[in-house]
Structure 1
């Protein structure tokens, strides 16, 4: 009898221990989480963060796309998607982060860019800071994976990226074959700054089958001499609706055949965000571009 009782007691203790540990394992708390950010720093999180501040719009969007929007407690002033984040406390930007307000929110994770001036101070105050700055499509894939791991779901990032890839491929299939290889001027700001071949925008255009007037050697988002654009004579011009409307009045730009022939894609501010943020809405951006490209008038024959 004593031996039987001892075996029963041992089984009971084992069952109780399993019952106690099961909720912790299910919540992903069995082991700390470790993420290497774009500064090369390893950030250890004792548990999946429940109070997240994001200071980069593309990272805000990624958190929400990874089904963790409810964990956000504050964002930068530019984060505006999805609509639910617009009501969160706005904490400035990368250059003017409102440190005291941010600390008062007691975040257990702050998402920021490598270029943010606030990073060192936030870490000095004891906050866990993960700096991520996607610049290419490959970077975006990597960042989604890192965020998924940081949020406690390592499979979520790769799964989301696979969905984006499928949608971008479907968008590319809608671009008319006649546009393949035609050169695009994609203006990101009116100085003018353009998206070059090596930017995530340039890579997205390449996925859609069109070319770029800004070669890789000029960098991802170079400032151009306006005469460069006139000499390049792009087949298609893309920018904000306001910029495209103003372009014909720029000195010499009236000679751009793309403007003369209406071979332009001008986007309002809200859809424009999807094109210039390297995050989970890239596929939506590809679809917007494909729809515009498919609706362009054919290029007129050039006079000889």
Structure 2
């Protein structure tokens, strides 16, 4: 896999999450939960050998104090640092089923769009399909994992996340509200709209997302759309060509005045994952908006 493909894959995973759609959720069974497929997941006892196939789920398991129960993770799980030493068993499209089976897990956590769920279940391995897409989803998933793992830490974790989000959202003063922002997640260009998780974080900061939610969470745009939108600030995690080289983009206020923030590495991970570190993502965006102020408005 090329370097560019590996860098863009986390955002493509997000697109697949959204495309898979939400399923109707029934009442949870006694001693278990109903996952995002609408299927009951009930365990005889709290799992002690867990495989996580989604970074946001890996991070949530650890935030609930159960990191020591993980026996393997997907190729993109890299936080906290301790999970990097675990066996890595592939990604969304190349999950290593045989390696998972050999680890004898008593629970596998996966995205509902994972193609390996049926095969794992046919081998007698319990699977919970959980896909946080928005903050409300994150709260729900924390509760579901808390119930499955019997950690009794879910309420405290959510309360902490809420406090951190509130603190992070207050980093900007009223004079910095209303900045028009374009957030690019990949060349194409693909953008994070108001309907995306990224858009939800921008809204908490009082920013105006130039990409409307009715276009879908992560739409592919006509480049001319961004020229007409004329954002004041551009945020991105892509490795595309310099924006000024795109036809017409040199005249965009954010490009002309160099009000561009690029997030890479660990910062990009925080922004793409609806997990327990969401407040860090808000702080990153706030720092960008604070740095560029409202000049050129």
1:163 aligns with 2:160: yes
Equivalence for 1:6: none
* 1:140-173: CA deviation from partner (whole Å, max 9, x where unpaired): 11111111111112x4222211111111111111
Equivalence for 2:259: 263
The 3-state SS of whatever aligns with 1:295 is helix
Equivalence for 1:114: 112
Equivalence for 1:295: 291
1:77, CA displacement in angstroms?
0.5
Equivalence for 2:184: 187
Q: Which of 95, 98, 120 is the equivalent residue of 2:96?
A: 98
Q: Which of 256, 269, 284 is the equivalent residue of 1:273?
A: 269
Q: Which has the larger radius of gyration?
A: 1
Equivalence for 1:20: none
The 3-state SS of whatever aligns with 1:262 is coil
The answer on whether the counterparts of 1:54 and 1:110 sit within 8 Å (CA) in structure 2 is: yes
Q: How does 1:99-248 map to 2 (within 5 A)?
A: 99-153=97-151, 155-240=152-237, 242-243=239-240, 246-248=242-244
Equivalence for 1:282: 278
* 1:222-254: CA deviation from partner (whole Å, max 9, x where unpaired): 1111111111111211012744x7222222211
Off by >3 Å, runs of 4+ in structure 1: none
- Distance verdict in 2 for CA 1:64–1:272, change over 3 Å: same
- Distance verdict in 2 for CA 1:241–1:128, change over 3 Å: closer
Aligned length: 269
The answer on whether the counterparts of 2:189 and 2:220 sit within 8 Å (CA) in structure 1 is: yes
* 1:98-149: CA deviation from partner (whole Å, max 9, x where unpaired): 0100100000000000100001000000000000111111111111111111
1:297, CA displacement in angstroms?
4.4
Equivalence for 2:19: none
The answer on whether the counterparts of 2:184 and 2:238 sit within 8 Å (CA) in structure 1 is: no
- Pairwise CA RMSD of aligned residues? 1.6
1:179, CA displacement in angstroms?
2.5
1:262, CA displacement in angstroms?
2.2
Which 5+ residue runs of structure 1 have no aligned equivalent?
1-30
Larger relative CO (CA 8 A, sep 6+): 1 or 2? 2
Which 5+ residue runs of structure 2 have no aligned equivalent?
1-28
